[in-house]
């Protein structure tokens, strides 16, 4: 660490060093007497600009700025899971041990625990050729996840020394590799990686497997693929965070990276409390064992907010490289974009739309590009799926962050204020939302759920669209004047909305639903429609049909049929038949 300059000016999180300096672009620096962490963001002939990741209050011109020679990086190794970090991967539990309930700046903490001894099983032998990505050791990081320590990218050579299986901390060498240039490098359980550089992979390919979330409107209507991207735009209170929590809890990803970017402190506390108690059905352990949280809450420094997104993504890529399916929840990407705007404004850059910098679109694109299903250098396959919440100003989707995000994601789950107001949750608007993965995933659904799944889904979507156009008419003239087949469409639309799309996150049975139950629910609704259609074609009026309680019963299936008692659907089918014969007999 070498002093390369002194502070000339301070404007919030932005600090200037005068003159032509030897700093490098994106270099991590220590700023001021308290050695606050910062990053070089521009270099000119006459000045260097630094963004500081901590509160700069009290800092003075003339204080030193130190160089580290390396870009802002995170530490990758065991200890990431079942943990919570700030935007630049400083462990919040350790910070609390040092400074109590408040986060004071300048806390000097190691990113990952360097003392803890991990049980290590070495996976390579002396003489073995290794490349970046080769798995050298396995470490049971949590009860759920087996950590695979890898040769860092850019290193290649032959193993010349390995340790015995045993207990090691992350600073001890595990293997030594003689590189092609004859130099020897020590490989440890942990490695550093600059947060703004995507970790390399061999190749990317199209995913044909869904990320199953247990949420009906997602899985059945607008599915996301493993390695896919989705945006959840919505005004405040429409359910973005709840939806992210639900997916983090119930999706079939191996690992969840949850980035709380500029949102509420209590929400992070809630995730910590809930996820520690909730049991992951797949592993039988607590959900935290597969989860890592990055928290830059709205009252934490804004420069670290900008970094938090990259920190989280880098952690996700690291586990992908081990062959895991990782899902990132980013709540909210708008706060990240606003952090960009705030920093850009302080730099007096030329603004484009609504004060956002002109590079907003390219930054959003680069972020979502880091998602994907990849073939790794160690021949495993892993994926990073990104689900980003968007918080449009005034709830208006025409604003720049929503619009630019839409260009780069393939799923759009638009949340609707009116639906949220009537407490229709999840408030995903079925008319505006879409998934470009439906076609890619069709074969998987056919083979793994039901041959009819894709067709049933199509019918459900069609009914919803018809219902919506009919409702426009009803609003003007009432429903009485409609012909009976249209009344039926409205009634079935209602059954789909209340019985299928609405899903109560607080109900033990309804909170997450297996695909097979989703399929059976669609089937039974369509069966009900078929029988009703037939009744109507026999001249039975809708008013007669509606007098029966079968509609209410079908709507209540979500609560009444437990997720592991799908055989109960047979009885419902019989009930529909009974309803059919009853009406026919009585009125024929």
For the annotated binding site, the residues are 234-241
Q: Decide whether 376 or 405 has the Cβ nearer to ligand ADP.
A: 405
Distance, in Å, from the CA atom of 31 to the CA atom of 50, rounded to the nearest integer, reads 9
354 contributes a contact to other proteins by CB under 8 A: yes
Q: Decide whether 130 or 268 has the Cβ nearer to other proteins.
A: 268
Q: Decide whether 102 or 506 has the Cβ nearer to ligand ADP.
A: 506
Q: Decide whether 96 or 454 has the Cβ nearer to other proteins.
A: 96
Structure tokens at 293: 């949280």
Q: Which residues are annotated binding-site positions for ATP? A: 234-241
Query: Which option in other proteins, Mg ion, ligand ADP, none does residue 398 bind, with CB closer than 5 to 8 A by kind?
Result: none
Alpha carbon 235 to chain centroid, angstroms? 18
154 contributes a contact to other proteins by CB under 8 A: no
Q: Beta-carbon neighbour count of residue 442 at 10 Å?
A: 16
Among residues 273, 225, 218, 272, which one has the least CA distance to residue 247?
218
Sign of the dihedral defined by the CA atoms of residues 505, 272, 323, 123, in that order = negative
425 contributes a contact to ligand ADP by CB under 6 A: yes
Q: Decide whether 56 or 333 has the Cβ nearer to other proteins.
A: 56
- In the complex, least distance from residue 8 CB atom to other proteins, rounded to whole angstroms: 6
Stretch that binds other proteins, among 57-65, 137-145, 166-174, 564-572 (CB under 8 A): 57-65
- In the complex, least distance from residue 266 CB atom to Mg ion, rounded to whole angstroms: 11
Stretch that binds ligand ADP, among 345-353, 429-437, 500-508, 558-566 (CB under 6 A): 500-508
Residues in region 135-194 near ligand ADP by CB under 6 A: none
Q: Decide whether 88 or 513 has the Cβ nearer to ligand ADP.
A: 513
Alpha carbons within 13 A on the beta-carbon side of 504: 12
- For tokens 């730099």, the residue is 347
437 contributes a contact to ligand ADP by CB under 6 A: no
Among residues 428, 261, 270, which one has the least CA distance to residue 332?
261
Residue 112 · residue 80 · CB < 8 Å: yes
Query: Which option in ligand ADP, Mg ion, other proteins, none does residue 286 bind, with CB closer than 5 to 8 A by kind?
Result: none
Task: Return the H-helix or E-strand segment holding 441.
Answer: helix 438-448
Residue 78 · residue 16 · CB < 8 Å: no
- In the complex, least distance from residue 83 CB atom to ligand ADP, rounded to whole angstroms: 24
560 contributes a contact to other proteins by CB under 8 A: yes
- In the complex, least distance from residue 441 CB atom to ligand ADP, rounded to whole angstroms: 23
Strand partners, 83: 292
**Residue choice 45, 154, 183, 266 for contact with other proteins (CB under 8 A):** 266
280 contributes a contact to other proteins by CB under 8 A: no
Distance, in Å, from the CA atom of 74 to the CA atom of 107, rounded to the nearest integer, reads 16
Residues 6+ apart with CB under 8 A from 282: 252
498 contributes a contact to ligand ADP by CB under 6 A: no
| Residue with the shortest CB distance to Mg ion | 241
**Residue choice 56, 149, 241, 502 for contact with Mg ion (CB under 5 A):** 241
Q: Decide whether 20 or 421 has the Cβ nearer to other proteins.
A: 421
Q: Beta-carbon neighbour count of residue 20 at 10 Å?
A: 13
Classify strands 184-188 and 64-71 as parallel, antiparallel or unpaired: unpaired
- In the complex, least distance from residue 209 CB atom to other proteins, rounded to whole angstroms: 33
Alpha carbons within 13 A on the beta-carbon side of 246: 26
Q: Beta-carbon neighbour count of residue 587 at 10 Å?
A: 12
498 contributes a contact to other proteins by CB under 8 A: yes
Classify strands 325-331 and 381-390 as parallel, antiparallel or unpaired: parallel
Q: Decide whether 288 or 374 has the Cβ nearer to other proteins.
A: 288
- In the complex, least distance from residue 246 CB atom to ligand ADP, rounded to whole angstroms: 6
Residue 198 · residue 321 · CB < 8 Å: no
One DSSP character per residue, 105-157 reads: TT----SS-SS--EEEEE---TT-EE-TT-EEEEEE-SSS-EEEEEPPTT--E
245 contributes a contact to other proteins by CB under 8 A: no
- Sketch the per residue contact string, 92 through 131, with other proteins: x for CB under 8 A, - otherwise: xx-xx--xxxxxx---------------------------
- In the complex, least distance from residue 401 CB atom to Mg ion, rounded to whole angstroms: 15
Instruction: Specify the length of the chain in residues.
Output: 588
DSSP 220: I
Binding site for Mg ion (CB under 5 A): 240-241
Binding site for ligand ADP (CB under 6 A): 234, 236-242, 425-426, 503-506
């Amino acid at each position: 660490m070498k002093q390369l300059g002194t502070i000339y000016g301070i404007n919030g999180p932005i600090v200037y060093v005068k003159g032509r300096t030897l700093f490098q672009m994106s270099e991590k620096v220590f700023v001021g007497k308290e050695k606050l962490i910062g990053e070089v963001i521009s270099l000119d002939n006459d000045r260097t600009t630094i963004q500081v990741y901590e509160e700069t209050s009290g800092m003075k011109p003339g204080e030193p700025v130190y160089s580290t020679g390396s870009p802002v990086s995170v530490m990758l190794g065991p200890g990431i899971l079942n943990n919570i970090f700030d935007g630049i991967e400083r462990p919040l539990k350790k910070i609390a041990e040092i400074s109590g309930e408040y986060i004071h700046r300048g806390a000097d903490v190691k990113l990952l625990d360097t003392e803890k001894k991990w049980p290590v099983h070495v996976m390579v032998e002396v003489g073995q050729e290794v490349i970046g990505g080769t798995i050298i050791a396995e470490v049971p990081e949590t009860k759920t996840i087996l950590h695979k320590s890898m040769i860092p990218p850019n290193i290649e050579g032959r193993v010349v020394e390995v340790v015995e299986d045993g207990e090691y901390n992350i600073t001890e060498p595990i293997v030594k590799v003689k590189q092609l240039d004859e130099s020897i490098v020590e490989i440890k359980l942990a490695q550093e990686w600059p947060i703004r550089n995507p970790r390399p992979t061999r190749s990317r390919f199209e995913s044909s497997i869904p990320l199953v979330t247990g949420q009906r409107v997602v899985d059945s209507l607008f599915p996301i693929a493993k390695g896919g991207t989705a945006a959840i735009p919505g005004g405040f209170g429409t359910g973005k965070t709840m939806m992210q929590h639900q997916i983090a809890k119930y999706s079939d990803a191996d690992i969840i990276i949850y980035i709380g970017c500029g949102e509420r402190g209590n929400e992070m506390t809630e995730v910590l409390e809930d996820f520690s108690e909730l049991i992951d059905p797949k592993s039988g352990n607590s959900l935290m064992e597969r989860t890592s949280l990055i928290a830059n809450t709205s009252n934490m420094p804004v420069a670290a907010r900008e970094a938090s997104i990259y920190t989280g993504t880098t952690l996700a890529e690291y586990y992908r490289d081990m062959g895991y399916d990782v899902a990132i929840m980013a709540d909210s990407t708008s706060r990240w974009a606003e952090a960009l705007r705030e920093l850009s404004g302080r730099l007096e850059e030329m603004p484009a739309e609504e004060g956002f910098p002109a590079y907003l679109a390219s930054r959003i694109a680069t972020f979502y590009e880091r998602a994907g299903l990849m073939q790794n250098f160690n021949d495993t396959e892993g994926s990073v799926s990104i689900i980003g919440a968007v918080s449009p100003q005034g709830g208006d989707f025409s604003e720049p962050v929503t619009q630019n995000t839409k260009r780069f994601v393939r799923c759009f789950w638009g949340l609707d204020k009116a639906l949220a107001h009537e407490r229709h949750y999840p408030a995903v608007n079925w008319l505006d939302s879409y998934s470009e993965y439906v076609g890619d995933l069709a074969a998987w659904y056919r083979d793994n759920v039901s041959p009819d799944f894709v067709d049933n889904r199509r019918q459900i979507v069609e009914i919803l669209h018809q219902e919506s156009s009919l409702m426009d008419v009803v609003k003007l003239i009432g429903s009485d004047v409609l012909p009976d087949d249209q009344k039926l469409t409205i009634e079935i639309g209602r059954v789909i909305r209340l019985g299928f799309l609405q899903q109560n996150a607080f109900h033990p049975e309804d909170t997450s639903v297996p695909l097979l139950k989703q399929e059976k629910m669609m089937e039974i609704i369509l069966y009900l429609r078929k029988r009703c259609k037939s009744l109507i074609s026999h001249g039975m009026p809708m008013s007669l049909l509606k007098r029966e309680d079968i509609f209410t019963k079908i709507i209540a299936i979500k609560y009444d049929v437990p997720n592991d008692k799908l055989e109960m659907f047979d009885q419902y089918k019989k009930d529909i038949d009974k309803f059919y014969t009853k009406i026919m007999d009585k009125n024929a």
